[in-house]
Amino acid sequence: MNFHQRENGDSEISEIDPLLAFLMVEGIRQEEEEWDCIADSFLATPLAEDALFSQDWKEYVQPGLLTLLKSCHAHVLTDLENMKREQLNAPGDQLGRLLIPVAHRESWLRILNVARLSLAARHRLHDQEISGEVAPDLNTERGKVLLQLQLFSMIQQVLVEIELERN
């Protein structure tokens, strides 16, 4: 995989292996019922012992954050669908290409983070596994999840570095 930044600020990831493209799409695509789990896990009330605060959080803050995440998710899915469509129309064994418009960069950063946290929680991954100290065994489901985490971390790191260079 190669990372490029275009003159207009868009990010491009080229020469994406089909397996990595598949893992990227599958790791980010969320089913509707998973959003309730995401809301419970990542948007939980920060001060659970304060009943009034908890009620206000769930009523006023959590819905807005969930709406923001769903909007970000829609942007990311659009970019992934464009990658898939381009791959289907490409001749032969051409490797994939993903374009991340500058306007979608923050959406990608948010969704990659949610996807990483969701995968780690869902598969009960250990810190040593998450850190990349252990090479993933791609013959197992757990190994594929670890590869997804490493892929998402790498993309996130590149996007953060690009954002830091812009500012």
**DSSP string spanning the chain?**
-EEEE-TTS-EEEEEE-HHHHHHHHHHH---HHHHHHHHHHHS--S-TT-HHHHHHIIIIIHHHHHHHHHHHHHHHHHHHHHHHHHHHHS-TTPPEEEEE-GGGHHHHHHHHHHHHHHHHHHTT--HHHHTT-S---TTSHHHHHHHHHHHHHHHHHHHHHHHHHH-
Q: How confident is the model at residue 15 (pLDDT cuts 50, 70, 90)?
A: very high
| pLDDT at 128 exceeding the cut of 80 | no
pTM over 0.85: no
Query: What are the tens digits of pLDDT across the range 141-166?
Result: 888 888 888 899 999 999 999 888 87
Structure confidence by residue, pLDDT tens digits, 41-69:
667 767 667 788 888 888 888 889 889 98
What does the angle CA 103 – CA 106 – CA 111 come to, to the nearest 5 degrees?
125
Q: Give the per-residue pLDDT at 19.
A: 83
**50 or 77, which is more confident?**
77
Dist. CA 43–CA 37, nearest whole Å: 10
Which amino acid does the sequence have at 58? K
